[in-house]
Structure formats: C-alpha cells, structure tokens
Amino acid sequence: MAALQFCDAFWGSDFSDLSGYEALLQRLNDGRRMCKDVEELLRMRAVAEEKFGKELVAIARRSGGHTEISTLRASFEQLKAEIENTGTQHILLSGMIKEEVQKIAVFREHQREQRKKLEEIIEKVQKPIEALHKKTMESKRCYEQRCKEADESEHCVERKNSPAATTTHRQTERVLNRARLCRQAARLAEKQLMWNVEQLDKIRQDWESTYRSTCEVFQQQEVDRIKMLRCVLWDHCNQLSMQCVKDDECYEEARKVLEQCDTTTDNNCFIQMRRTSFSPPNSVQFQSYYITDTNGQVDGQDEHGLSCLQLETSAVHNLTVSVAPSHQVTVAQDHLSGAFVTQEHGETEDEKYKVLYAYEAQDSDELSITCGEIVMITEQGDDGWWTARKGDLIGLVPGTYLIKV
C-alpha cells in the first residue's frame, strides 16, 4: 500500500485557515492519550501479577501436610515448592511489566517535548503571515473599491461630455477633477496591493517550508509511536506466553514426583514406622483360684504345693516392663522379703534407617540427608522429627523420609 504524507493532506484554504494543523495536533494528542492508556493497562496487569504471585507464595508456605508420610508426603511437598516457584515467577513478571511501563512514559515525555518545540516554531511563523494576509486582503478590498469609484467618475465625465448634457463649465471641471483623483487613488491602491502580495509571497515560502517540515516530523512521531506501542504489546504477549510455559514446567516437575507416589510403598512405610505386634493377643485361660487336694478338701495350699498367692506372684519374678525406646526396667520379687524390686538396664543400640528422600537442612539443629544413605536414629520425636546421627554429625530429620533397614 502506498504511504500517504501528512504534508500533502493537511493544508488550509488560506493562510488563516488552521483546520489541517489542528487536525494534526488532535491526532498527536489522541496518540499521547493512547500511550497513557497502554501504561495504565500494563500497570494494572503488573499489580495483579504481583498480588497473585504473593498470594501463591503465601499459600505454599501456609499449607500443612506434615502429618503425611512417604511418597505422598514427598509429592505434596514438591507441589508446594512448585507453587511457590510459580508465585516467584509471577512477581518477576510484574517487575518486567513495570519496566515496560517506564519505557512508555519516557518515550511519551520525549515526544511531548519535541512536539512542544515544533508548536512554538509554527506559532512564530504563523502570526506574521496571518497579519500580512489580513493586510493584503484589506488592501485588495480597498483597491477594488477605488477601481469602482474611478470607473463611476469616468462614466460621469462621459455623460457630462455627451451632446445632450446641459452642464456648465465649472460642473464639467469638477467632474473631471474628481475622476482624476479617483484614478490616482486607484493607482495607489494597486501599488499597495502589489507590494503586500509580493511581501506575502516571500513570507509564504518560509512558512510553507516550515509547515511542511513540521508535518513530516509529526508523521515520523506517529510512525515511532505506533511501532513502539506495537512492540510493547507484542513483548507483553510474549511475556505472558513464557509465563504460561514456566508455570507448566513447574507443574510438570510436580507431576513427575506424583508418578512415584505408590500406595503400597506408603502403607509399608507406615507399618514399619508404627507397627506394634505381628500377631493378635492370646486368649485368656481360666485358672481356678482354689485348688482341691487328694482328700477332697479345698484349701489355698496342699502339703507339697505352694499357696495360690505364691503361684501368682512367682509369675512376676522376671517381669520386664518397657518404659522407653532406649531403656528397660525389670521388675522382680525378693525371695526372702517378698518385696518387688526394679532393675534399670542401659540404653539400647541405635537403629539403622535408610533415607528414602533427600532433605536439605533449613535450621542449624537439622541434618541434611541424601537419598539412599544410612543413618542411625537415636531418638524418635512425637512431632515427626527424629534425631539422626551420620558420622560425627547429629541433627533432626523428618521421620517420614526414612525407612528401617
């Protein structure tokens, strides 16, 4: 398509007609308004992205899931981490959009300053040519009026000189004198008009050159503005598309971990961590309190046997009570005094556990572990955090990340 030019389409009907120039200024003002509208759109989008990103980060950090174990726990933790990553990416996107807003503001201000200078130049050349044009039009009207008066006076002379006219010599002289004066006035008006037209033509050349160059600059401003806004909007669409790709990549990482989520593994992990016994309790056996002797007498003791109380207490001579994972207390009866005594044994050996999932220490009292290595558990806390030993290092690790060897 052939490119039209501002300098060939926005001239006035005369030098005082500024309709074309005003149309150009209106177009530039509309373009400036468009720049502000794009700035506002991007600014609101940046605020929305920042708010959305911060909400995602807050959601990821406030979410629980600490009571879950094994693969499902790992999947949930991965999803929270990716949600937080997504929120961070949206906050970064907000920053990039704000940079684009700043670029538009700088561009708009630069064009405003450039246009202001051109308007001052046009105003400077427009006032003299308008004044001279007005003066020329007045001199033209005066010249036309003087020519009409000269023609009328000549007609009067012709009528006075006709044979049918009855005029005195004095009247004739007066008519001739008036005709001569009118003709002189017409000549003076003609000279004044010619001089004004000549001066107007000289100024017109400078004015036309200035106006044409101003139109060209205005058109270049419009070209630059349209290209700039088009590039900004294009880049904004690309940024949003890239953000969608990054979001999908984050959630793809979560899906990869979810693929490893297995019900059998989770149930086995729970059984190994919280098991109590491999068999149900035995049935209760009936035992008579009274023992019948060979003579048919019922007594609490026979001649060769122990009393029922002694039989019952003999069963607790070597009773062991478990009071802690690392201590044992033995309850026994003193044969001489019949009193019960307790004997506390030392700590049990540390238990070996295999790391199912890697964990990076977040605090100074925690211990970093990697998948597959063996650690020694010295204490199992009720809150799910266990004390582990790895070489000379001791710290807290999540119990759900371990499995007993």
pLDDT in tens, 85-108: 999 999 999 999 999 999 999 999
d(CA 176, CA 160): 9
Listed in sequence order, the residues at least 6 apart from 127 whose beta carbon sits closer than 8 Å to its beta carbon are none
pLDDT given for residue 343 in this prediction = 43
Q: Is the dihedral of CA 87, 93, 99, 103 positive or negative?
A: negative
- Rounded distance between C-alpha atoms, residue 8 and residue 336, angstroms: 129
Residue with tokens 């105003």: 123
Does the CA dihedral 129-131-134-138 come out positive or negative? negative
What is the average per-residue pLDDT within 204-212?
93
Tokens of 93: 């996107």
Query: For the chain, what's the residue count?
Result: 405
Average of per-residue pLDDT across 7-22: 91
Tokens (6 digits) for 320: 């062991």
Residue 396 backbone class (left: φ over 0; alpha: ψ -120 to 50; beta: rest): beta
pLDDT value of position 178: 86
Nearest in space to 213 (alpha carbons), one of 112, 108, 125, 134: 125
* Token representation of residue 144: 């036309």
Name the strand (E) or helix (H) holding 320.
Answer: strand 319-324
Q: In the chain, what is the straight-line distance between the N-terminal and C-terminal CA atoms, in Å?
A: 79
Percentage of the residues of the chain whose pLDDT score is greater than 70: 83
Average pLDDT over residues 143-156: 88
- Mean pLDDT across the stretch 72-84? 95
**Is residue 322 predicted with pLDDT exceeding 80?**
no
Task: Look at residue 331 and tell me whether its pLDDT is greater than 60.
Answer: no
Q: Which residue is it, tokens 């001649």? A: 303
Question: What is the C-alpha to C-alpha distance for residues 101 and 184, in angstroms, rounded to an integer?
Answer: 71
Tell me how far apart the alpha carbons of residues 306 and 310 are, in angstroms, rounded to a whole number. 6
Confidence check: pLDDT of 18 > 80? yes
Name 291's bridge partners. 299
Per-residue model confidence (pLDDT) at position 291: 60
> Model confidence over 240-275: pLDDT tens digits?
999 999 999 999 999 999 999 999 999 999 999 988
Report the candidate in 74, 200, 80 with the shortest Cα–Cα distance to residue 139. 200
Q: How much is the pLDDT for 340?
A: 43
Residue 66 phi, psi dihedral angles, 5° rounding? -75, -15
Residues 357-395 pLDDT 10s:
899 998 889 999 999 999 999 999 888 899 999 988 999
pTM, 2 dp: 0.60
The span from the CA of 112 to the CA of 110, in Å, is 5
**Cα(8)–Cα(152) distance, rounded to whole angstroms?**
45
What's the confidence (pLDDT) of residue 303?
42
* pLDDT, position 167: 65
Q: Using DSSP, state whether 396 is helix, strand or coil.
A: strand
* Mean model confidence pLDDT for the chain: 84
Q: Cβ(386)–Cβ(404) under 8 Å?
A: no
Look at residue 364 in the predicted model and tell me its pLDDT. 87
CA 166 – CA 173 distance, rounded (Å): 14
Rounded to an integer, the average pLDDT of 30-39 is: 96
73 Cβ neighbours under 8 A, 6+ residues apart: 65, 400, 401
- C-alpha distances in angstroms, 109 versus 39, 123, 126, 230? 13, 21, 25, 18
Residue 75: what pLDDT? 94
Rounded to whole angstroms, how far apart are CA atoms 239 and 186?
Answer: 76
The per-residue pLDDT for 350 is 80
Query: Longest C-alpha distance within the chain, in Å?
Result: 199
Per-residue model confidence (pLDDT) at position 164? 60
| Tokens 């139109």 sit on residue | 215
Across 224-250, average pLDDT:
96
Q: Is there a contact between 262 and 72 (Cβ–Cβ < 8 Å)?
A: no
Q: What is the pLDDT of residue 295?
A: 53
Segment 283-291 shows an average pLDDT of 79
- Is-contact 384 400, C-beta < 8 A? yes
Q: 404 - beta bridge partners? A: 353
